[in-house]
A and B are shown apart, each in its own frame.
Chain A
Amino acid sequence: MKVEIVDWQAVASWHWDLKDDSITDELCGICRVAFDGTCPNCKYPGNECPLILGAGCQHNFHLHCILQWLEQDTSKGLCPMCRQVFEFRKDFNTVTKDINSLLMLIDGHKSMRDREVDEEFDSFDDDLRMND
């Protein structure tokens, strides 16, 4: 029998290698794409856009998705799903530029919050003085 190959298509499947497999089945809460798919800003999944695993809470996101959210002032540095202060697990092999930006954004929001608390205390002091 002679077999002639008329056409062929290469198929590759891609999968995050995580200790906890259940996470890769989840959807990113921001773009609603499965973690095995790419975020809307990336053509291919991979280390440029790793999963960011929540540390304070249990919510996970594509790096670029959570980065874009925390760039918004209105995010106030909070997790979009549960509105707790967003922190993430920092066990990466390589810390890319985008991971660094994420760290800086989270710090920025933290100092904004600290400043607001200070201002509240200041105005509280003013109120006390006025009542004297």
Chain B
Amino acid sequence: MAALPKRIIKETERLISDPVPGITAYPDEANLRAFTVTMNGPDSSPYEKGIFDLELYLPDDYPMCPPKVRFLTKIYHPNIDKLGRICLDVLKDNWSPALQIRTILLSIQALLASPNPDDPLANDVADDWKKDEPKAIEVAKEWTAKYAKAKE
């Protein structure tokens, strides 16, 4: 495997020495481009007190292309589908090499705090959300309590 670019080494060091509040990200020993991520649900959101597992992968052409990020923990959110894929502009067309792993993780955390059912990925969830928001928020809370538990 090609040597890890300096930028990735620097980003990784900073993620570990100066972590983003509520987020941990560690590279896998076997593949330093693959990260195991945990994210705390933002306070006063339906995901509050939940701890979500994600995987993040830096493709070979990173930082020309965005990291690939996916939720592993089941989550009820209009912009996250059944497979954990995330609908977020900075992970697609609005990516720029000025962004980093940490800014991407912060954007995902912000997406948990403010779901956007008008730009949905999970259409059924977005429909529920638009039809009956209080009920959708209840379901999101139930799923959080059920699936996003802290590991013992």
Contact = CB atoms under 8 A, between A and B. Distances in A.
Nearest to A37: B6
Nearest to A70: B64
Contact of B98 (A33, A68, A71, A80): A80
Given A80-B97, A81-B98, A83-B96, A33 B6 contact: yes
Binding site of A, secondary structure by majority: helix, strand, loop or mixed?
A: loop
A77 to B, nearest CB: 12
Contact of B6 (A40, A72, A75): A40
Contacts of A75: 96
Contacts of B98: 29-30, 80-81
Q: Interface residues of B: mostly helix, strand, loop or mixed?
A: loop
B64 A72 contact: yes
A31 interface: yes
B6 to A, nearest CB: 6
Interface residues of A, number: 17
8 contacts: A31-B63, A33-B6, A65-B97, A69-B64, A71-B64, A78-B96, A80-B96, A83-B96
Interface of B: 5-7, 10-11, 63-65, 93, 95-98
